[in-house]
Structure 1
Amino acid sequence: MYKFTSPDTIVSQVAKIDRSDRWSVHRRLQELNISCWCPQDGTLWVEIDRCIDAVLLRSTVQQFTSTRYELTDWLERCWSTQVLSTTNN
Protein backbone atom coordinates (compact mmCIF):
# COMPACT_ATOMS: atom_id res chain seq x y z
CA MET A 1 0.00 0.00 0.00
CA TYR A 2 1.29 3.46 -0.86
CA LYS A 3 1.65 5.99 1.96
CA PHE A 4 0.97 9.60 1.01
CA THR A 5 3.56 12.20 1.95
CA SER A 6 0.93 14.76 2.92
CA PRO A 7 -2.81 14.65 3.64
CA ASP A 8 -3.34 17.76 1.47
CA THR A 9 -2.09 16.23 -1.77
CA ILE A 10 -4.11 15.30 -4.83
CA VAL A 11 -3.71 11.77 -6.11
CA SER A 12 -4.62 11.13 -9.72
CA GLN A 13 -4.52 8.23 -12.11
CA VAL A 14 -2.92 9.04 -15.45
CA ALA A 15 -5.09 7.20 -17.97
CA LYS A 16 -4.27 8.89 -21.26
CA ILE A 17 -0.90 7.18 -21.72
CA ASP A 18 -0.29 3.93 -23.59
CA ARG A 19 0.74 1.14 -21.28
CA SER A 20 4.10 0.88 -23.06
CA ASP A 21 4.91 4.55 -22.26
CA ARG A 22 3.86 4.48 -18.62
CA TRP A 23 7.23 3.31 -17.32
CA SER A 24 9.02 6.06 -19.24
CA VAL A 25 6.66 8.67 -17.82
CA HIS A 26 7.03 7.10 -14.36
CA ARG A 27 10.82 7.28 -14.61
CA ARG A 28 10.75 10.92 -15.76
CA LEU A 29 8.39 11.95 -12.97
CA GLN A 30 10.71 10.33 -10.44
CA GLU A 31 13.62 12.30 -11.93
CA LEU A 32 11.52 15.43 -11.33
CA ASN A 33 10.94 14.35 -7.69
CA ILE A 34 7.21 13.88 -8.21
CA SER A 35 5.76 11.00 -6.19
CA CYS A 36 4.30 8.36 -8.48
CA TRP A 37 3.81 4.63 -8.62
CA CYS A 38 2.72 1.87 -10.98
CA PRO A 39 0.80 -0.95 -9.30
CA GLN A 40 0.76 -4.44 -10.78
CA ASP A 41 -2.37 -3.63 -12.82
CA GLY A 42 -0.24 -1.35 -15.05
CA THR A 43 -1.87 1.95 -14.10
CA LEU A 44 0.13 5.07 -13.28
CA TRP A 45 -0.73 7.09 -10.19
CA VAL A 46 0.72 10.51 -9.38
CA GLU A 47 0.70 12.52 -6.18
CA ILE A 48 0.38 16.26 -6.86
CA ASP A 49 1.70 18.23 -3.92
CA ARG A 50 2.37 21.64 -5.51
CA CYS A 51 1.21 23.58 -8.56
CA ILE A 52 4.55 23.03 -10.27
CA ASP A 53 4.00 19.26 -9.97
CA ALA A 54 0.79 19.59 -12.01
CA VAL A 55 2.58 21.65 -14.68
CA LEU A 56 5.46 19.15 -14.88
CA LEU A 57 3.02 16.22 -15.04
CA ARG A 58 1.15 17.86 -17.91
CA SER A 59 4.37 18.60 -19.76
CA THR A 60 5.69 15.07 -19.30
CA VAL A 61 2.45 13.44 -20.44
CA GLN A 62 2.24 15.84 -23.40
CA GLN A 63 5.64 14.62 -24.64
CA PHE A 64 4.29 11.09 -24.95
CA THR A 65 0.75 11.76 -26.17
CA SER A 66 1.11 14.62 -28.66
CA THR A 67 2.12 14.46 -32.28
CA ARG A 68 5.28 16.17 -33.50
CA TYR A 69 3.12 18.85 -35.13
CA GLU A 70 1.28 19.54 -31.86
CA LEU A 71 4.56 19.79 -29.95
CA THR A 72 6.14 22.20 -32.45
CA ASP A 73 2.94 24.28 -32.53
CA TRP A 74 2.96 24.46 -28.71
CA LEU A 75 6.63 25.49 -28.70
CA GLU A 76 6.08 28.20 -31.33
CA ARG A 77 3.14 29.58 -29.35
CA CYS A 78 5.29 29.68 -26.21
CA TRP A 79 8.03 31.57 -28.08
CA SER A 80 5.57 34.13 -29.43
CA THR A 81 3.73 34.69 -26.14
CA GLN A 82 4.38 38.05 -24.58
CA VAL A 83 4.30 38.29 -20.82
CA LEU A 84 2.69 41.43 -19.51
CA SER A 85 4.17 42.87 -16.37
CA THR A 86 1.70 43.75 -13.63
CA THR A 87 4.24 45.61 -11.51
CA ASN A 88 4.85 49.34 -11.71
CA ASN A 89 8.32 50.31 -12.86
Structure 2
Amino acid sequence: MMLGSDMLGDHVLQIPLCDRWQIYHRLQELMIPCSCPPDGSLRVQVNSYLTAILVRSTVMQFLAPRQELLDWLERCWSY
Protein backbone atom coordinates (compact mmCIF):
# COMPACT_ATOMS: atom_id res chain seq x y z
CA MET A 1 0.00 0.00 0.00
CA MET A 2 1.44 3.35 -1.01
CA LEU A 3 0.73 6.48 1.00
CA GLY A 4 0.85 9.91 -0.53
CA SER A 5 2.08 13.01 1.24
CA ASP A 6 -1.58 13.99 1.72
CA MET A 7 -1.83 11.11 4.22
CA LEU A 8 0.60 12.86 6.57
CA GLY A 9 -0.66 15.32 9.21
CA ASP A 10 -3.52 15.33 11.70
CA HIS A 11 -6.07 12.55 11.47
CA VAL A 12 -9.30 12.08 13.38
CA LEU A 13 -10.14 8.45 14.09
CA GLN A 14 -13.62 7.39 15.07
CA ILE A 15 -12.85 4.63 17.55
CA PRO A 16 -15.44 2.95 19.79
CA LEU A 17 -15.27 4.52 23.22
CA CYS A 18 -14.51 1.16 24.88
CA ASP A 19 -11.29 0.85 22.81
CA ARG A 20 -10.30 4.50 22.51
CA TRP A 21 -8.33 4.82 25.75
CA GLN A 22 -6.42 1.58 25.21
CA ILE A 23 -5.43 2.68 21.70
CA TYR A 24 -4.58 6.16 22.98
CA HIS A 25 -2.29 4.75 25.70
CA ARG A 26 -0.58 2.38 23.25
CA LEU A 27 0.08 5.25 20.83
CA GLN A 28 1.50 7.26 23.74
CA GLU A 29 3.83 4.33 24.56
CA LEU A 30 4.98 4.44 20.94
CA MET A 31 5.57 8.21 21.35
CA ILE A 32 3.02 9.06 18.66
CA PRO A 33 1.39 12.45 19.34
CA CYS A 34 -2.32 11.96 19.94
CA SER A 35 -5.19 13.32 22.00
CA CYS A 36 -8.73 12.45 23.04
CA PRO A 37 -10.85 15.62 22.76
CA PRO A 38 -14.29 15.88 24.43
CA ASP A 39 -16.08 15.07 21.14
CA GLY A 40 -15.16 11.38 21.61
CA SER A 41 -12.71 11.15 18.72
CA LEU A 42 -9.05 10.17 18.78
CA ARG A 43 -6.74 12.66 17.07
CA VAL A 44 -3.39 11.38 15.84
CA GLN A 45 -0.45 13.29 14.35
CA VAL A 46 1.04 11.22 11.52
CA ASN A 47 4.45 12.66 10.60
CA SER A 48 5.98 9.73 8.72
CA TYR A 49 5.16 6.54 6.91
CA LEU A 50 6.47 4.56 9.89
CA THR A 51 4.01 6.40 12.16
CA ALA A 52 1.17 5.60 9.75
CA ILE A 53 2.10 1.91 9.84
CA LEU A 54 2.30 1.93 13.64
CA VAL A 55 -1.09 3.64 13.96
CA ARG A 56 -2.69 1.18 11.55
CA SER A 57 -1.15 -1.77 13.34
CA THR A 58 -2.25 -0.50 16.75
CA VAL A 59 -5.83 0.14 15.65
CA MET A 60 -5.92 -3.23 13.90
CA GLN A 61 -4.73 -4.97 17.08
CA PHE A 62 -7.78 -3.71 18.96
CA LEU A 63 -10.50 -3.60 16.29
CA ALA A 64 -9.82 -6.26 13.66
CA PRO A 65 -11.64 -9.57 13.84
CA ARG A 66 -9.51 -12.47 15.04
CA GLN A 67 -9.54 -14.19 11.63
CA GLU A 68 -8.26 -11.05 9.92
CA LEU A 69 -5.38 -10.87 12.41
CA LEU A 70 -4.56 -14.53 11.84
CA ASP A 71 -4.59 -14.07 8.05
CA TRP A 72 -2.32 -11.03 8.38
CA LEU A 73 0.10 -12.94 10.60
CA GLU A 74 0.22 -15.86 8.18
CA ARG A 75 0.98 -13.48 5.30
CA CYS A 76 3.83 -11.97 7.34
CA TRP A 77 5.33 -15.38 8.02
CA SER A 78 5.10 -16.45 4.37
CA TYR A 79 7.45 -13.67 3.18
TM-score relative to the length of structure 2: 0.86
* Match status 1:13 vs 2:12: yes
Residue 51 of structure 1: how far off its partner (Å): 1.1
* Match status 1:76 vs 2:71: no
* Separation in 1, partners of 2:10, 2:40: 16
Q: What is the root-mean-square deviation of aligned Cα atoms in Å? A: 1.0
Unaligned 5+ segments in structure 2 are 1-7
Instruction: Indicate the residue corresponding to 1:65 in structure 2.
Output: 63
Flag as ranges the 4+ runs of structure 1 deviating above 4 A. none
Instruction: Indicate the residue corresponding to 1:50 in structure 2.
Output: 48
* Separation in 1, partners of 2:32, 2:16: 20
* Separation in 1, partners of 2:67, 2:48: 30
* Separation in 2, partners of 1:62, 1:49: 19
Residue 32 of structure 1: how far off its partner (Å): 0.2
Unaligned 5+ segments in structure 1 are 1-8, 82-89
- One-letter amino acid of the structure 1 residue matched with residue 55 of structure 2: L
1:29 to 27, 30, 33: 27
Deviations, residues 1-27 of structure 1 (Å, cap 9, x unaligned): xxxxxxxx5000012x21110010000
Q: Of the two, which has the highest radius of gyration?
A: 1
Count the aligned residue pairs.
72
